[in-house]
A = this chain, B = another copy of it.
Amino acid sequence: MGEADGGRAGRGMTVGELARATGVTVRALHHYDRLGLLRPARDRAGRRRYGPAEVRRLHQIVALRSFGLTLAEIGPVLDGTGADPRDLVRRQLRRTEEQLAALERLRRALLELDAAWPPAGSGPAAGPPVRQFIELIERTTAMTEKLTVEQFEQMKRQRDEATAALSPEQLAAMQRERAEQASKLSPEELAAMQERRRQLLPDGIG
């Protein structure tokens, strides 16, 4: 037995066959081979031949990768020489939750930005949208350091100029949008934003 299959399958699948069967690209399989993560046998012509054991290992690799492990972590785990898998799972969980928290902050900031946008139909008098965009971001973003007095004055001047260029209708629309945006935030979030702004003011102002 072992030759009853015609000899071809007995030597295992080629990269292309395995790639088609699993959805993992040929290049990825080359990559895993080079890393020593998944080393198939070679036929006389030097081509990779994947047997059942390698196929199984590939499925494991794909599974572990889908759980967010790096390739460097996967090798030791599969060989049983890595850390306690349960710790690994919990570490992954912590990593994931940190990323989730960061993404949720980003999402909230983008929503704020979108909501604070000047009204759409305000015409060409609204000025170049790019400048408004930048200013909006500078106003929305929490800067890491306290503003200098000059920076503060400059921002004020620019804001005043921008405001002066708006029609009364636009001003009203902006105020409405701001109020609407504020209504979406919890009291705690509102307080946090105001505190953030306060802390950005140079000493002796506000």
Interface residues, chain A, with chain B CB atoms under 8 Å away: 21-23, 59-60, 63-64, 66-68, 77-78, 80, 82, 84-86, 89-90, 92-93, 96-97, 99-100, 103-104, 106-107, 109-111, 113-114, 117, 128-134, 137-138, 141, 143-145
Are B63 and A86 in touch, CB under 8 angstroms?
Answer: no
Contact of B103 with A137 in the complex, beta carbons under 8 Å = no
CA distance A145 to B20 in the complex (A): 11
User: With A114-B86, A130-B77 given, is the CB distance from A59 to B138 under 8 Å?
Assistant: yes
With beta carbons under 8 angstroms apart, the residue of B67, B117, B137, B144 that contacts A86 is B117
Q: A93-B111, A110-B92 are in contact. Are A134 and B86 (CB under 8 A)?
A: no
Q: State whether B93 touches A107 (Cβ < 8 A).
A: yes
Decide if A110 touches B89 in the complex (CB within 8 Å).
yes
Q: Are B138 and A77 in contact (CB under 8 A)?
A: no
B77 x A96 contact (CB < 8 A): no
Partner pick for A100 among B68, B100, B113, B129, CB 8 A cutoff: B100
A67 touches B106 (CB 8 A): yes
Name the B residues within 8 Å of A111 (CB-CB).
Answer: 93
- Please report the C-alpha to C-alpha distance between residue A138 and residue B55 in the assembled complex, in whole angstroms: 13
